[in-house]
Amino acid sequence: MAAVAYRHPGRAHRRLIMPHGPENNKPNEDKQREERAGVTEIASGAEQLKCLIRQSKSTVFFGGAGVSTESGIPDFRSPAGLYAAKRIYGHTPEELLSHSVFVREPELFFRYYKKNLIAEEAKPNAAHIALASLERQGLLSTVITQNIDGLHRAAGSKNVLELHGSNWRQYCVQCGASYSLHYILDETHCKEGVVPVCEKCGGIVRPDVVLYGERLQDAVIHAAAKAIACTQLLIVGGTSLRVYPAAGLLGCFEGRHLVLINQSETPADARAQLIIRDAIGKVLANAV
């Protein structure tokens, strides 16, 4: 069940709409009434968000893995993902997706990467589609994403800053030649069917993504920081705000309204004017 909190900028007071709080949690509540209350609650948060978007002179969206999970892409950092990585590969996801493992054990890296981080069949969900619609209407200036699946672009968003890169771009580490995702998935282009090699120089072809132990691209992080610093309304969705340095971007925000759409608490909750704890696709679709 969703929870919606709203705090007026500059005031300490926060109004919390929780139809299933202790005062309303009666054992014999009618199930249909509960469901209707949930719909009203979600609509209430989405309506407030809709008003904020239309009142704002500039709006930026900053999203994480929770945006993509609604497209069926699992979060490899989840407890299930961590357990599976340790059981099958003997390492944590962070270790498997590190620069050091890529250099020392490229076969191990690509076995994990191809199996767990590529979702060719995934399609944009309601959140991606809503954000693209807001951009077309001139109501959203920038999408900043920590995801590497390319679904924001697939949905039609144009101004997308991919902090961690994209699976859909691949390149040779030796000569810099560019390749498609399909190239590295074709076993005929891979050493022993696993490690993709460049057809021009024989170097390893790697994903254009930021691995653990690597720096984010300066141009991208600077553009993201500038977008956040200059916007009036910042919508943050589907992220725990615990993965750095990306999470540190919130420190650049000096605008009027911070909105959080996330199923669980985040370190930024105390700063937010509006918090909606529900599925991000449902919320954004109702806010368009």
Amino acid residing at 114: K
3-state SS string for 131-153: HHHHHHCCCCCEEEECCCCCHHH
Q: Which of 218, 226, 220, 188 is closest to 205 using CA atoms?
A: 188
Every domain range in the chain assigned CATH 3.30.1600.10: 169-209
| Residues across the chain | 288
* pLDDT at 14 exceeding the cut of 50: no
* pLDDT at 12 exceeding the cut of 80: no
* Per-residue model confidence as pLDDT tens digits over 210-263: 999 999 999 999 999 999 999 999 999 999 888 888 889 999 999 999 999 998
* pLDDT at 26 exceeding the cut of 50: no
Which of 42-46, 178-182, 273-277 ranks highest by mean pLDDT?
Answer: 178-182
CA dihedral over 154, 155, 159, 164, signed as positive or negative: negative
In CATH, what class is 4-71+125-164+215-287? Answer: alpha beta
The Cα–Cα gap between 46 and 52 comes to 10
CATH architecture of 169-209: 2-Layer Sandwich (3.30)
What's the average model confidence in pLDDT over 272-283?
Answer: 93
Percent helix, strand and coil across the chain, each to the nearest 5: 40, 20, 40
Helix (H, G, I), strand (E, B) or coil at 252: helix
Give catalytic residue positions: 164
Pairing, β 178-179 against β 190-191: unpaired
The Cα–Cα gap between 130 and 155 comes to 9
Every domain range in the chain assigned CATH 3.40.50.1220: 4-71+125-164+215-287
* pLDDT at 11 exceeding the cut of 90: no
